[in-house]
Amino acid sequence: MKTLLILRHGKSSWDNIYLSDYERPLNERGKRDAKRMGRLLRQMDLVPDLIITSSAERALATAERVAQAGDYEGKIRPTRDLYHADPEEFIAVLADLETAFERVLVVGHNPGLENLLEDLVDGWQRMPTAALAQVALPIEQWRELDDATQGKLVNLWYPKELPDG
């Protein structure tokens, strides 16, 4: 059994209209919510073995803040492949992972993340900014993951529902 943690990037800033979508940073709420989700992972004993993130600025900054607040000690793997990825692209990246990783966190964008979650648990769930889903996957090796894999939604957290702590 593998665990997939799916995190939508934090709220982004629109202050600089000259930045491309890819370059947009987190706003203050996005920074705060990313830390909140990192603390949650630590408190729930769900710190991942690996973090893979879209290389877009807001997603990478979310991953870095989650890692710091969650006491994650591994490396973060940014990839352009997850920038506005569809479920098939997420699955391709995950299916290429080493078996040793038991719990993996992916950080990305909508609508791809909502669609990935829907495909994996056979039911649509809302994924606002900084929402985090925990999915149990009935696979022993990541290479077994494909578009027919049916997992179980274990938890879904929204940052607004968590204490500020």
Distance CA 6, CA 3 (A): 10
The answer to whether residues 74 and 49 touch, using CB atoms and an 8 Å cutoff, is: yes
Question: What is the rounded average pLDDT of the residues 119-133?
Answer: 95
Band of pLDDT at residue 163, cut at 50, 70 and 90: confident
* SS3 at position 40: helix
2-161 to CATH, choices 3.30.70.20, 3.40.50.1240, 3.20.10.10, 3.50.50.60: 3.40.50.1240
Question: What is the rounded average pLDDT of the residues 60-72?
Answer: 98
Terminal-to-terminal C-alpha distance of the chain: 32
- Environment class of 13 (CB within 10 Å of its CB; exposed 0-12, middle 13-18, buried 19+): middle
The alpha carbon of 136 is separated from its chain's Cα centroid by a whole number of angstroms, namely 14
The per-residue pLDDT for range 5-42, each reduced to its tens digit, is 999 999 999 999 899 999 999 999 999 999 999 999 99
Specify which residues 50 forms β-bridges with. 104
Q: Give the pLDDT of residue 162.
A: 85
Q: What is the DSSP letter of 23?
A: G
